[in-house]
Amino acid sequence: GDSVTQTEGLVTLTKGLPVMLNCTYQTTYSPFLFWYVQHLNEAPKLLLKSSTDNKRTEHQGFYATLHKSSSSFHLQKSSVQLSDSALYFCAWNNNNRIFFGDGTQLVVKP
Amino acid sequence: DMKVTQMPRYLIKRMGENVLLECGQDMSHETMYWYRQDPGLGLQLIYISYDVDSNSEGDIPKGYRVSRKKREHFSLILDSAKTNQTSVYFCASSLSEQHTEVFFGKGTRLTVV
C-alpha cells in the first residue's frame, strides 16, 4: 500500500556537521513529497516540498531532491545549528489522503 | 492571516467524561483533519473532512467522532473518554489539491485521568 518511511527515529549531531534524514515512499501515483518540521511544543509546519524528479528544492538552508527512480526524498543540510533541533516529518499527499512518516528527531549538540 | 485555531490548548478530563475539541480555520479550506500525536508514533490520522458533512475515517477512528457543520469549523468528540486517549491532538486544514501544504493548529494536550 501507499506509505512513507523514515528509517531513523533519532539523529544526534554536533553543531556545524552535515545531516541527512532519510525518506522513502511507496505509491503507484505520481508523488508530491513534503518535509514538515515541528519544534518543541509547536505545531508542525512546512519546510519544503517537491514533485519534480531530480530537481533540488531548498528552504532555510535545508534541501532535498526527489528521486523517483529510488523513491526517495532525503532531507539534507550542510551545517546544522542548535536551532535545527526538532522533529522532522516526511509526507506524501494523494488527493488529501496525507501519509506522514513516523518522524525523525534531530538533536543538535553544542 | 492564515491560521488554524484550536480550543482549548490544555484539557484534563476524568475517564468516562465527554470531550469536545474545537478547531477553526480562516482560509476557507475544504479539507480538514484531526490527528493525534504520541511519543514515537508520529502523527496518526483520526478523521478527514472533505467539506461540510463529508467526513471519512482515518487510521484510528475508534472512540472518536467528528462534526463539520460549517466549512471553517471541525470538531472532534470523545464520548466517554478513556485513559489511552491521553494525547496531543492536532487539527489541520488544506486546499483540495495534491500539491498544497497542510496547515496545523497548535494542538490540544488532553489528559484523561
pLDDT of residue A93: 81
Cell of A37: 518540521
Q: Specify the range with the lowest mean pLDDT, choosing from A16-30, A40-54, A87-101.
A: A87-101
CB proximity A49 to B under 8 Å: yes
The single-letter DSSP state of residue B61 is -
Contacts of B102 in chain A (CB under 8 A): 34, 36, 44, 46, 91, 93, 98
- Rounded CA-CA distance B3/B9 in Å is 15
- Residue pair A92/A5 in contact (Cβ under 8 Å)? The answer is no
pLDDT of residue A96: 64
Domain range annotation of chain B: 4-112
CA distances from B36 to A48, B30, B59, B92 (A): 23, 20, 11, 11
Segment A19-35 shows an average pLDDT of 90
- Residue pair A52/A59 in contact (Cβ under 8 Å)? The answer is no
Nearest beta carbon to residue B48 from set A42, A49, A96: A96
Give the model confidence (pLDDT) of B18-50 as tens digits.
999 999 999 999 999 999 999 877 899 999 999
A107 contact partners, CB below 8 Å, separation of at least 6: A10, A11, A12, A13, A85
Contacts of A100 in chain B (CB under 8 A): 42-43
Q: Which CATH architecture has domain B4-112?
A: Sandwich (2.60)
Residue B13, burial from CB neighbour count under 10 angstroms (0-12, 13-18, 19+) = middle
**Which of B101, B108, B109 is best to mutate for the A interface (most A CBs within 10 A)?**
B101
- Domains of chain A, first to last: 3-109 (2.60.40.10)
Smallest Cα distance from A24 to chain B, Å: 16
Give the model confidence (pLDDT) of B87-111 as tens digits.
999 999 998 877 788 999 999 999 9
The single-letter DSSP state of residue B83 is G
Give the pairing type, strands B10-13 and B108-112. Answer: parallel
Segment B3-28 shows an average pLDDT of 95
- Rounded CA-CA distance B46/A26 in Å is 21
